[in-house]
Structure 1
Amino acid sequence: MSVSHSVNYRRAQYMKSAPTLAQCPKDSGAEVAFAGRSNAGKSSAINRLTENGKMAKTSKTPGRTQLINFFSVDAADAMRIVDLPGYGFAKVPIKVKQEWERNLEYYLQHRQSLRGLVLLMDIRHPLTEFDTTMLTWAHAAGMPVRILLTKTDKLKRGPAQAALLQVRKALQPYGGLVSAQLFSAPRGDGLDELREQLDIWLTTRFEDEELDADIDPEV
C-alpha cells in the first residue's frame, strides 16, 4: 500500500524521558525505535533526521544515558520517534545491564505501538554479538528492522558497498523483515531512503484504519 503523505520530521518535539517501561507514554498510535551500540552514531542520525542538532543528546561516557527518550512528530503525539539507550554499557554494573536487556527485549516484543526498529551499526564494525541479539529479539516479535550502516563517510565508495553487500548476505536467514542501507549523518547520505521507510511504518496503519472507518458495517 502506498503512503499518501509523508511525515515532517523537522517538526519533531521532545515528549518525555522514561527511566522504566512503566513510565513510557500510552501504548497507542505509532512509533519507531532507534537502537545501537553506544558509539554507532544513533544520536547523530536522529539529529540529522529531524534537522535539529540538539534533539538527541549525546553522552561522552558510553552507557551513561539509560533513559528511553520519546519525540513526537505530529501535533497529537500519535506518531513518535523513540531513542533507546545505547547498548554495550561498558561502564555499567552487570546487574544493571542485565535488567535493561530484559526491559529492551520486553519492549521490542510487547509494545503494540512499535511499528519498526532502526538498528544502527558502525559500518566498520557491523553485526556485533549484541546486534545479533537485537535482531533475534525483533525477529521473534515479527518486528521489521532497517539497519543503518553508519559513518560511511569514513570509507571510500567501493569498500562501503562491499560492506553493505556482506551485511545483506548475512541477513538472509531473517527474510524480508530485515533490510540494510548505507548512512552518513554528516553528509546526509541515505537520509531520503530512511525517511521513506519511516513514513511507511508510521502512517500505513493509520491509513488502513481510516479505510476501515469508511466501511459501513451494515453493508
Structure 2
Amino acid sequence: MEFGTMMGLLLSGLQFTAIIFVITLVGALPLGVLVALGRMSKFKPLSLLVQFYISVMRGTPLMLQLMMWMFGPFYLFGASMGPDWKYFACCIGFILNYAAYFGEIYRSGIQSIPRGQYEAAEVLGYTRTQTFMKIILPQVFKRILPAMGNEVITLVKDTSLAFVLGIMEMFTQAKAIAAAQTSMMPYVIAGLIYWVFNFVVVMVLNRVEKRMNYYHD
C-alpha cells in the first residue's frame, strides 16, 4: 500500500475520532454541571442516585459501558436498533462516562469557592441563579481548567475504544492496515497524529487559561 493511500485512510478515520471528541465535549461539559449540582443536592434521594451513577461510570471500564449501550437494547428488550445504532451507542457511552468525571471536577471547584462570595452576592441583590452563573461558575472554570485539561487529553486517546463497536475511527483504520501490511508503520503514524491532536488541544487550553487570568484567587 502506498504511503498516500495509507495516510488517506488514517485521516478518514481521524474524522470519526474528531467527531466523537467534539460530540462528547458538547454533551458532557454541560451535563457535568447538572451532575455536580445533583451530587451536592440537599435532596438526599437525588444525591444518592447521582453518587451511584458516578460510582458506576468511574468504577467500570468505558469499553464495557460502550458494549452495554450497543448490545443492551437487544439482550434486555429484544429490540433491533439498526446498523446506525453503533454511532448513537458510542456517543451516549462517551457522554455519560465523561459527564461523571467532569461532574466531580465541577463539584470540587464549586466547593472551593469561599462562602463569602455567596453572601456578598446576596447583599448585592443577586438571585441564586445569577450568583451561580455570573459569579461562581466563571471562577470555577478557571480553578478546574488544569484538571479538565487532563480529562480532555485522555478523551482524545479514549476515542480509540470506539473500535469495539466497529466504528472505523483512526485506531481501527491503523489496526486494519497493520494487519493487511504486517507492518508497525500505521501504528507509528497513528500515534504521531494522536500526539499532534493532543498538542493542538493543549495549545487551545493554554490560550483559554490565559484569557481567564482576569479571575484572580
When the two structures are superposed, what TM-score results if normalisation uses the length of structure 2? 0.30
Structure with a larger share of its residues in helix? 2
Decide which structure has the larger Cα Rg and report it: 2
By relative contact order (CA 8 Å, sep 6+), the higher-ranking structure is 2
**TM-score normalised over the length of structure 1:** 0.29
Between Structure 1 and Structure 2, the one with more strand by share is 1
